[in-house]
């Protein structure tokens, strides 16, 4: 199958050579081609350029059926990369919504047996098939709104068997979906009720049993820890990361959501691919991140839903850092995987320019989930994951019209979904 999209009003995020990420002032740079075409053959982008330079000769060597689309008035973007989700879960936590509305904090809800442990119980009571079906639905919805890659975490099992069960569900999602999916082992999401008061023993279980078994079945790409006040300490985090690295897993951290927890520092020390949440980012954290290879990733949906402080995105970019924006789709702090809304929040609540927020949800999240070589930009040779918008006036319309779905058609691996 080959696809030729013609008369594109603007082809957005075009990079002739792959880049690692965009940081600081460079985040305002969003390369585009006006009045453009895009050609994908099989699963890959093979050509693009200005319509006036288009020549039928590029079609000569294509030996497969060709679909031609006229995108007059419409724009084409690379699909979003959502580098932080927890979409494998059972049921929902709408019951806690009322507690939240009445003013209980995330930690207070967790202390009352709600929060993550509520989802843990439901997950343990669910079969692999049930979990697969509900996660598949969520993934389909994410794709329909323009997401083409997702990192998915475990962390609602918290026993060896239940963590493996979650990761096997993620493996099935990887196999079935046209999206690019990465799996993250988050055994250190919370201390399960059987281990409350014995946190170190639970960390021992993660290190001695869970990580070796996860690695033996090759079920995860990343290892993650919720390093924050009331959850896992810096010391716990170091132990888990060292073991994860030894077993070939790349670290990512839930850091500084609830306090200046040291999570950013420990993440950088172990060369984490990303540190996520980062509401509590001060001068020390910025200094540590500068010059590192760790992507600070903000999760606007969680801060919005929980009524938290907003991470200082502007200050971070002004200091020269890259910033990524992901959804955190999960039942407790962000029951939405809508990256268009994440983009809007980036602009509205974090004062990011549309260009900055688009870089933050495409190329920078691609880096945060280790897919920057194949996704995140329109580049020859990269996977043909792109969406065509409805007719829109400008790129700013995408974050501006925050309640509407601006995505008309999504292509994953060169095929319409
Ligand atoms: O990223 N902060 C920790 N974990 C999730 C929340 C998960 C939950 O509440 O179920 C997050 O926000
Ligand atoms: Fe999370």
In this structure, which residue's CA is closest to atom 7 in ligand 1?
A: 332
Whether the predicted pLDDT of 62 surpasses 80: yes
**Contacts within 8 Å (CB) and 24+ apart, 267-274:** 267/227, 267/294, 268/292, 268/294, 269/238, 270/238, 270/241, 270/242, 270/245, 272/241, 273/222, 273/367, 273/368, 273/369, 273/370, 274/83, 274/84, 274/324, 274/368, 274/369
Instruction: Using alpha carbons, list the distances in angstroms from residue 190 to 164, 187, 225, 242, 251.
Output: 16, 8, 9, 19, 17
245 within 8 A of 251, measured Cβ to Cβ: yes
Say if ligand 1 is within 6 A of residue 327 CB: no
| The predicted structure's pLDDT at residue 99 | 87
Where do the structural domains in the chain lie, given as residue ranges? Answer: 2-79+377-416, 80-368
**Residue 300: is it exposed, middle or buried by C-beta count within 10 angstroms (0-12/13-18/19+)?**
buried
Whether the predicted pLDDT of 288 surpasses 80: yes
Whether the predicted pLDDT of 106 surpasses 80: no
| Ligand approaching nearest to the C-alpha of 332 | 1
**Residue 401: is it exposed, middle or buried by C-beta count within 10 angstroms (0-12/13-18/19+)?**
middle
The CATH topology of domain 80-368 is TIM Barrel (3.20.20)
Residue % of the chain over a pLDDT of 90: 91
| Ligand approaching nearest to the C-alpha of 82 | 2
The yes/no answer on whether domain 2-79+377-416 falls in CATH 2.30.40.10 is yes
| The predicted structure's pLDDT at residue 98 | 87
| The predicted structure's pLDDT at residue 382 | 98
pLDDT tier at 251 (50, 70, 90 boundaries)? very high
Say if ligand 1 is within 6 A of residue 228 CB: no
Say if ligand 1 is within 6 A of residue 302 CB: yes
| The predicted structure's pLDDT at residue 109 | 85
Whole-number Å distance, alpha carbon 201 to ligand 1 midpoint, is 22
Say if ligand 1 is within 6 A of residue 411 CB: no
Q: pTM, whole model, 2 decimals?
A: 0.97
In this structure, which residue's CA is closest to atom 1 in ligand 1?
A: 328
* Mean pLDDT, rounded, for 107-120: 85
Tens-place pLDDT, residues 199-228: 999 999 999 999 999 999 999 999 999 999
Residue ranges with CB less than 5 Å from ion ligand 2: 328
| Ligand approaching nearest to the C-alpha of 189 | 1
Say if ligand 1 is within 6 A of residue 100 CB: no
Say if ligand 1 is within 6 A of residue 78 CB: no
Whole-number Å distance, alpha carbon 400 to ligand 2 midpoint, is 26
């Amino acid at each position: 199958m080959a696809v030729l999209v013609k008369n594109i009003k603007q082809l957005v995020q075009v990079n002739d050579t792959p880049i690692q990420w965009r940081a600081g002032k460079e985040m305002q740079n969003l390369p585009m081609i006006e009045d453009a075409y895009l050609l994908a053959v099989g699963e890959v982008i093979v050509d693009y350029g200005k319509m006036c330079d288009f020549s039928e000769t590029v079609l000569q060597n294509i030996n497969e059926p060709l679909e031609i689309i006229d995108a007059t008035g419409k724009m084409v973007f690379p699909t979003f990369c959502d580098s932080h989700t927890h979409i494998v879960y059972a049921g929902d936590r709408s019951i806690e919504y009322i507690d939240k509305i009445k003013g209980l904090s995330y930690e207070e809800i967790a202390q009352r047996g709600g929060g993550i442990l509520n989802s843990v119980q439901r997950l343990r009571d669910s079969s692999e098939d049930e979990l697969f079906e509900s996660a598949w639905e969520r993934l389909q919805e994410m794709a329909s709104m323009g997401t083409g890659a997702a990192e998915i975490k475990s962390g609602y099992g918290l026993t060896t068997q239940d963590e493996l069960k979650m990761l096997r569900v993620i493996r099935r999602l990887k196999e079935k979906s046209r999206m690019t999916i990465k799996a993250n082992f988050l055994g250190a999401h919370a201390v399960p009720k059987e281990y409350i008061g014995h946190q170190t023993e639970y960390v021992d279980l993660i290190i001695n049993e869970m990580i070796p078994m996860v690695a033996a079945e090759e079920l995860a790409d990343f290892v993650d820890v919720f390093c924050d006040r009331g959850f896992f300490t810096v010391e716990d985090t170091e132990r888990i990361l060292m073991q994860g690295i030894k077993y070939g897993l790349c670290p990512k951290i839930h850091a500084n959501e609830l306090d200046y927890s040291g999570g950013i520092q420990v993440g950088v020390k172990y060369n984490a691919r990303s540190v996520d949440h980062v509401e509590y980012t001060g001068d020390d954290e910025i200094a540590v991140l500068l010059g590192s290879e760790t992507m600070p990733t903000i999760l606007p949906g969680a801060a919005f839903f929980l009524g938290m402080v907003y991470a200082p995105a502007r200050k971070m970019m002004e200091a020269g850092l890259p910033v990524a924006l992901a959804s955190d789709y999960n039942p407790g702090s962000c029951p939405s995987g809508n990256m268009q809304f994440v983009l809007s929040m980036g602009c509205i609540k974090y004062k990011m320019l549309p260009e900055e927020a688009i870089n933050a949800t495409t190329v920078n999240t691609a880096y945060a989930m280790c897919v920057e070589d194949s996704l995140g930009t329109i580049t020859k040779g990269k996977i043909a994951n792109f969406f065509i918008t409805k007719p829109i006036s400008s790129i700013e319309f995408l974050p501006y019209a925050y309640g509407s779905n601006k995505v008309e058609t999504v292509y994953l691996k060169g095929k319409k979904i």
